[in-house]
C-alpha cells in the first residue's frame, strides 16, 4: 500500500463544547494520511493518476473552518467521510488526526487530539 500524507495543516475553527469556543474560535491542526495506489502516477508523472493533495487540503479546510461541531471526534469523522466519498475508487483508507493545541482546560499539556482510521477495507 502507498500513502499520501498531508501533515500538520493549520486552520482556525469554532469547534468546542463551551460557548466561548464557538464565539472566539481557536487554532486546530490536522494530519491526514491516504491509503492509495500511486504506482501508476510514479510511472506516468500525471496528476490524473493520483489524488490531488490540493483537493484534500481544500476539503479539510472547508470542514475545519466551516460548520462548528462540539467535538473534534465529529470533525475527524466528517473529514474522513468526505475524503472517502470524494475519492471513491482512489482512496482505500484514510487516517485523520485532529489536534486542539489550546483547549480551555486547566493544567499543563502540549495538546489534545483524536485520531481515527476509516476505509473501504473495513467493509
* Catalytic residue ranges: 100
Three-state SS letters, 42-58 = HHHCCHHHCCCHHHHHH
41, 50 Cβ separation under 8 angstroms: yes
Please tell me the distance from the alpha carbon of residue 63 to that of residue 75, in angstroms, as a whole number.
7
21, 42 Cβ separation under 8 angstroms: no
Amino acid at each position: 500500500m502507498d500513502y499520501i500524507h498531508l501533515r500538520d495543516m493549520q486552520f482556525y475553527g469554532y469547534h468546542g463544547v463551551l460557548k466561548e469556543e464557538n464565539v472566539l474560535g481557536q487554532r486546530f491542526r490536522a494530519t491526514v494520511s491516504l491509503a492509495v495506489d500511486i504506482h501508476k502516477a510514479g510511472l506516468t508523472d500525471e496528476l490524473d493518476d493520483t489524488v490531488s493533495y490540493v483537493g484534500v487540503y481544500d476539503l479539510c479546510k472547508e470542514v475545519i473552518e466551516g460548520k462548528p461541531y462540539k467535538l473534534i471526534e465529529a470533525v475527524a469523522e466528517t473529514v474522513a467521510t468526505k475524503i472517502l466519498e470524494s475519492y471513491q475508487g482512489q482512496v482505500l483508507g484514510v487516517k485523520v488526526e485532529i489536534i486542539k493545541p489550546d483547549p480551555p482546560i486547566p493544567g499543563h499539556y502540549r495538546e489534545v487530539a483524536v485520531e481515527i482510521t476509516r476505509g473501504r477495507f473495513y467493509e
